[in-house]
Structure 1
Amino acid sequence: MESNVSLEIARYLRRLGVERAYGLPGGEVTHVIDAMIEVGIDWVLVHHEAAAAHMADAESQVTGRPAVCVSTVGPGASNLVNGVANSFLERSRVIAIVGEYDAAERSSMVHMNLDLKALFEPISAYVERIDAANLAATLSHAANVLQAPVPGPVTLLVSASDQRVPTAPLDLPAPLANGQLLGSAAGTVADLLEGASRPALVLGVGVRDPDLIDGARALVNALDLPVVITPKAKGWISSDDPRLAGVLASYGSSGSEQLLADADLILAIGLDGTDFIRPWRFTAPLRLEPASRTDPSVPGEQICCELNLTLGELCESGLGPFGGVRRAAEARGQAEVDRSAGTLPARTLPDHMRGGLDPVDALRAIRRATPRSAITTCDVGMFKLAICQYWDSYSPRTFLVSNGLSTMAYGLPAASAAALAGDEPVLTLVGDGGLLMGAGELETLARLDLPVTVVVAVDSSLALIRLKAEIDDLTEVPNDFSRADYVALAEALGVSGRRARNLDELEDAVATAVSSGRPALIEVPVDYTAYRRMGG
């Protein structure tokens, strides 16, 4: 039975577990979109290609499977770059299918014509032009790249004419299993732990596998180890675990940093240079890795091993206790002190930036109204810096943030994808600047009628840049903008809206919105001066 390139791409995506594709259609990708729909892959229309890539990124993090975004040539592809770059630095399993001109047109046309391979190569783990001749090899290699110990986005470039070329149905082998056949390193690690009195554990973005997360949790408890996490590892260790010391973030981290500075042995699992807001400045860690890798931003000795086996044997080693509960409590206490440890001089502020809610108090009110199992996505800006430290996450894959790239306008589309891919209510925490950058996705949320609650923190400023200018004692960079009516904006796009003016109203509004199972937006004013007071 004869097939064609588009249909074989779509069938292989389905075999990889792909259930939906996000994007905007264009003449160069209509055939592959039609083929995906034919094999049962849902098509999700969005309003910006970057949002499509963010949605694929979020779905892949929630499910652990590859997810797909699609764009056409020229402006579609260049818009997609932001989202693919984000997935590259988040180490996400994203497949970007990008339409391009035929070979003859690429060499002669100027209109909307870019060198797409050169554009995507720096931000992709693998880029290839796909056609009938290399179809099987390209799809197989792409799948293996997505299963690598350190995955990243795969970008497949395909022209409209190549999509229609007839081909025989493919019979491809299954992708390689993640990782390598390695032994345990428990003996080596145990010898080092026996000589340590103040060891600590650090978990980063590379801790993805559910069994590995369970193993890390078991190790922390069995050895009474204090553990520090990065923002991408929130939820790997539950926020109410007494051995969790805190998050290596921009604010509220002084206790965790002191714990690491005092440690005489630091074990690191999944640590990646993209995890760090600041360069690593502690004792070089002993890095447990599933495969050899080079990352100059992460110092220390690397031991390649079968991680689950190693952690399991360490749990049975009888080592410890290492004072994890006590040491972590001291670090967490310092995070509360950090809320008022800032030393910036006061400057006159516009009225709209004063008198709102303390951001951390607001976060805690929101958390009280949100189920423990809910998935939370976070946008980027000053609000993110508070969220990464002070928001509580209890389960793996329930906190999504753009940390490596730290791109604004991530939170809302990521929340929609998380709702499509998961079974839990979803909350997104966004600043007004980030929301305005991608407000069109409110219509996507309304059209799909997803159980997503959007909480927008309003200070009518790009507060992080304002604060940086104050830290450097610079003349204020103009970054304030008009105070919009976000309730009216949401309702104009089909999402119910509500305004909360105090903590009680906020908690009630969130609880009501989450329990409704419908799209909702809650506008809450936040006090910029609280950011000035934050330190650590």
Structure 2
Amino acid sequence: MEILRHQHEAKSVHRDTNLENKSQIIKEKIVAEDITLTAAQLIVQCLENEGVEYIFGLPGEENIRLIDAMKDSTIRFIVVRHEQGASFMADIYGRVTGKAGVCISTLGPGAINLLLGTADAFTDSTPLVAISAQVGLNRIHKETHQVIDLLNMFKPVTKWAGMIVSSAAIPEMVREAFEKAKTERPGAVYLCVPEDVEAISGLTGLRPLSQSYEADSMPGSSQIAHAAHVLQAATKPIILAGHGAVRDHAGDALVRFSERLRIPVATTFMGKGIFPDDHPNSLGTMGFMKHDYVNFGFDEADVIVCVGYDLQEFDPVRMNPNADKKILHLHRYPAEIDTHYPVTVSVEGNISAALDELAAIVTPKEGLDAADRKIRNLLKEELEYGAHTDAYPVKPQRLVSDIRAVMGESDIALVDTGSLKMWMARLYPTNQPNTCVISNGLSTMAFAVPGAIGAKLAYPDRKVLAVTGDGSFLMNSQELETAIREHIPFVVLIWVDGAYGLIKWKMDLELGHHSFVDFGNPDFVNYAESFGARGYFIEAAADLLPTLKKALSEDVVSVVVCPVDYSENIKLTNKLGQLMQPI
């Protein structure tokens, strides 16, 4: 795993160096020739200066100059079929790379379509820069064609939103947008470009601004001492690792901390892989809608060490229902206030440094007990059941097992929202961060197919699998054409049940029946082939694994269609409901 990480870092450095060289050549050429620029060209140069490699979006009447200015740049512009798809591509590109993904649209309806992926990035703490056109300043003050108050529309779902009202402000505002997107808690930002500002020409003396670098903040010694005192007195501590630990690259330190102090670790859905599931101290994933096996580990705990946990990932009442646990909050920033998240000590700053300092001064604990090992065994038994059942339609456990068997440790599975998210999050063994990508801040449907394009562009040497339900798939399936046209190969695996399965599951649990959740589907194989993709239909459970292997080995876009038996949903929650006492 360490070798793979170093190889990826080396490739990233090489890619970033090439991009810096290209941008430097362009900037030197402009200075040497002292040529004039249009505002659109200046914006593109500022984007190059920020290291932007890809922009996802659609051209419109009001942004044609900005789109055209990318033609001779180092940026690859990916023309999409819907702006929502563009926003998800940028969202997932930012999620897996840590660099700001960029999406662009025209004004009005185009900008509104960017909103969902922008909100997803905001709630998932992913760096994203959304750029849209706007009507000219000469008519923005009045009721006129396509005028919408875009700034106030984006403000609730972004860290920062601004409008360029002067060409002289372009370098500063582009720099500020990227600075806001990537620093402190990452998130989405929005930049609005009025049509008449974009059209300004004859600019001289304006150049991109140098990037600033934030000094890494170290945790305070008094915080460490107080946290160590609480942890030293703990009799049954447990660790919850969240998405913040992934963003802070704290995986190695987390493993050292757990091993040194012999404390078990659970992760959130979005934290999957930051602590390897194959590690003997791993308890699995926290966040299922009912009291799952891993919850019993938290029931018995007296201290919860929350490492990079964001409250948006799931409600803390799930792990601390009586608000009686002591909470150690290790993160880059303070915790949100919540009755069920009563922070005893907050250690703010570099997460790896905090973990290493605590590990050095706290006495090791007793390690996993029989109940902890039982949690691991129960999850293992579910996955093994999946590996050996030939039932058809295919059991969810079999789908998870076969996906894991065909995917390498560093390959990327994007898991859409629906019943399948619950099965994948609970059972899919994940040993590296950002290799099982789940949206749990906004939990939006339909990000997986367009998101796969962003993930594959970020890591072209990895296999990418979009795992989606039939409900989610048809919401953004048009982006298959984008992937085929741009030659961005990945595989879509559709779990087919002809219903909005998670809502059906919830209705059956809470109402005892379901209504208005069923729908019809097209012939997905013919549908995929009509785009130029390859289509496969699974007719027996034994066909799934070899079909996935074949599809993932080919340098094309493929769609694998698999009927799923979601009667397992109620069986699972009934089984968990019978576990009323700690195991």
Q: How far apart are 1:115 and its partner, in Å?
A: 0.6
Q: 2:580 corresponds to which residue?
A: none
Contact 2:94 2:101 in 1 (8 A): yes
Q: Tell me the equivalent position of 2:328.
A: 286
2:518 counterpart of 1:480: yes
Write out aligned runs for 1:242-391 (5 A): 242-250=280-288, 254-276=292-314, 279-282=317-320, 283-292=325-334, 294-296=336-338, 298-301=341-344, 302-317=346-361, 319-324=363-368, 328-335=372-379, 355-391=392-428
* Structure 1 stretch displaced more, 469-478 or 455-464: 469-478
- Corresponding residue number in structure 1 for 2:23: none
1:256 Cα deviation after fit: 1.6
Contact 1:85/1:123 (8 A) holds in 2 = yes
Flag the 1:324–1:187 CA change in 2: closer, same or farther, 3 A: farther
Q: Which runs of 5+ in 2 are unaligned?
A: 1-33, 384-390, 577-583
CA shift at 1:170, angstroms? 2.5
2:198 aligned to which of 137, 141, 163: 163
Offset, 1:37: 3.6
Secondary structure, counterpart of 2:306 in structure 1: strand
Task: Give the deviation of 1:266 after TM superposition.
Answer: 0.9
Separation in 1 of the partners of 2:114 and 2:512?
34
**Structure 1 residues 325, 439: CA separation in 2 closer, same or farther (over 3 Å shift)?**
farther
The answer as to 2:92 corresponding to 1:55 is no
- Among 539, 543, 551, the alignment partner of 1:505 is 543
Deviation track 1:228-280 (CA, whole Å, cap 9, x = no partner) reads 11111111111211211121122575222111121111111211121105745
Q: Structure 1 residues 337, 509: closer, same or farther in 2, change over 3 A?
A: closer
Provide the residue aligned with 2:178 in structure 1: 143
- Corresponding residue SS for 1:380: coil
Aligned-pair CA distance for 1:155: 0.2
Counterpart Cα distance in 2 of 1:209 and 1:281: 22
Secondary structure at the residue paired with 2:425?
helix
Partner Cα separation in structure 2 for residue 146 and residue 322 of structure 1: 42
Counterparts of 1:220-259 in structure 2 under 5 Å? 220-250=258-288, 254-259=292-297
Instruction: Tell me the equivalent position of 1:90.
Output: 124
Q: Helix, strand or coil for the counterpart of 1:241? A: coil
Tell me which residue corresponds to 1:492.
Answer: 530
Residue identity matched to 2:133? G
| Corresponding residue for residue 187 of structure 2 | 152
Shift of the alpha carbon at 1:210?
Answer: 5.8
Pick aligned residue for 1:20 from 10, 34, 54 = 54
User: What is the one-letter code of the residue matched to 2:266?
Assistant: V
* 114-123 or 443-452, which deviates more: 443-452
In structure 2, the residue matched to 1:9 is 43
> Partner residue of 1:426?
464
Q: Distance in 2 between matches of 1:252 and 1:505?
A: 32
CA distance in 1, matches of 2:493, 2:309: 31
Percent of residue pairs bearing the same amino acid type: 28
* Distance (Å, rounded) in 1 between the aligned partners of 2:306 and 2:198: 45
- Structure 1: segments with no counterpart, 5+ residues: 340-353
CA contact (8 A) 1:252 1:334 kept: no
Question: In the aligned structure 1, how far is the partner of 2:63 from the partner of 2:155?
Answer: 20
Q: Distance in 2 between matches of 1:195 and 1:284?
A: 11
TM-fit CA distance, 1:502: 2.6
SS at match of 2:239: strand
Contact 1:290–1:306 (CA under 8 A) maintained in structure 2: yes
Give the partner amino acid of 1:119: M
CA contact (8 A) 1:378 1:411 kept: yes
Does the residue aligned with 1:236 lie in a helix, a strand or coil? coil
- Where 1:208 maps in the other structure, the secondary structure is helix
Displacement of 1:201: 0.9
- Paired residue type of 2:327: P
Are positions 1:31 and 2:65 aligned together? yes
2:167 aligned counterpart, secondary structure = coil
| From 545, 554, 560, the counterpart of 1:516 | 554
CA contact (8 A) 2:46 2:174 kept: yes
TM-score by length of 2: 0.84
Once the two structures are TM-superposed, the CA of residue 89 in structure 1 deviates from its matched residue by 0.5
Task: Please tell me whether the aligned partners of residues 73 and 112 of structure 1 are also in contact (alpha carbons under 8 angstroms).
Answer: yes
1:451 counterpart (486, 489, 494): 489
What are the superposed Cα offsets for residues 101-147 of structure 1, whole Å, 9 maximum, x if unpaired? 01232233443221101110000110000132432432332232123
CA distance in 1, matches of 2:142, 2:419: 46
Alpha carbons 2:264, 2:368 under 8 Å: kept: yes
Aligned partners of 2:86 and 2:539: how far apart in 1? 33
Whether the aligned pair in 2 keeps the contact of 1:470 and 1:476 (CA below 8 Å) is yes
Which is worse superposed, 426-435 or 477-486? Answer: 477-486
Distance 1:305 1:411 in 2: 32
Distance in 1 between the 2:228 and 2:418 partners? 41
**Greater Cα offset, 133-142 or 155-164:** 133-142
CA distance, structure 2, for counterparts of residue 435 and residue 186 of structure 1: 47
Does the Cα contact within 8 Å between 1:19 and 1:42 map onto a contact in 2?
Answer: yes
Residues 365 and 503, structure 1, Cα contact 8 Å, conserved in 2 = no
**What TM-score, normalized by structure 1, do the two folds share?**
0.92
Q: 1:325 to 1:382 in 2, by over 3 A?
A: same
- For the aligned residue pairs, the C-alpha RMSD in angstroms reads 2.3
User: Can you list the C-alpha shifts for 1:407-441, whole angstroms capped at 9, x where unaligned?
Assistant: 11111111111111102110111000100111101
Greater shift after overlay, 1-10 or 193-202? 1-10
Instruction: Report what 2:231 is aligned to.
Output: 193
Do the aligned partners of 2:414 and 2:466 also contact (CA within 8 Å) in 1? Answer: yes
Bigger RCO of structures 1 and 2 (CA < 8 A, at least 6 apart): 1
Contact 1:453–1:522 (8 Å) recurs in 2: yes
In the alignment, does 2:163 pair up with 1:129? yes
Q: Give deviations 1:157-176, integer Å, cap 9, x for gaps.
A: 00121123325332523233
Question: 1:126 and 1:152, CA in 2 relative to 1: closer, same or farther beyond 3 A?
Answer: same
Q: Which amino acid aligns with 1:313?
A: E
C-alpha deviations, 1:281-327, integer Å up to 9, x for none?
51242101223454547441322243222222333336214414755
Distance, in Å, in 2 between the alignment partners of 1:483 and 1:147 is: 40
CA distance in 2, matches of 1:327, 1:313: 29
CA distance in 2 between counterparts of 1:316 and 1:9 reads 49
SS at match of 2:422: helix
Instruction: Provide closer, same or farther for how the CA distance between residues 332 and 225 of structure 1 changes in structure 2, counting only shifts above 3 A.
Output: same
Write the letter of the residue equivalent to 2:285.
Answer: V
Q: Quick check: which one's helix share is greater?
A: 2
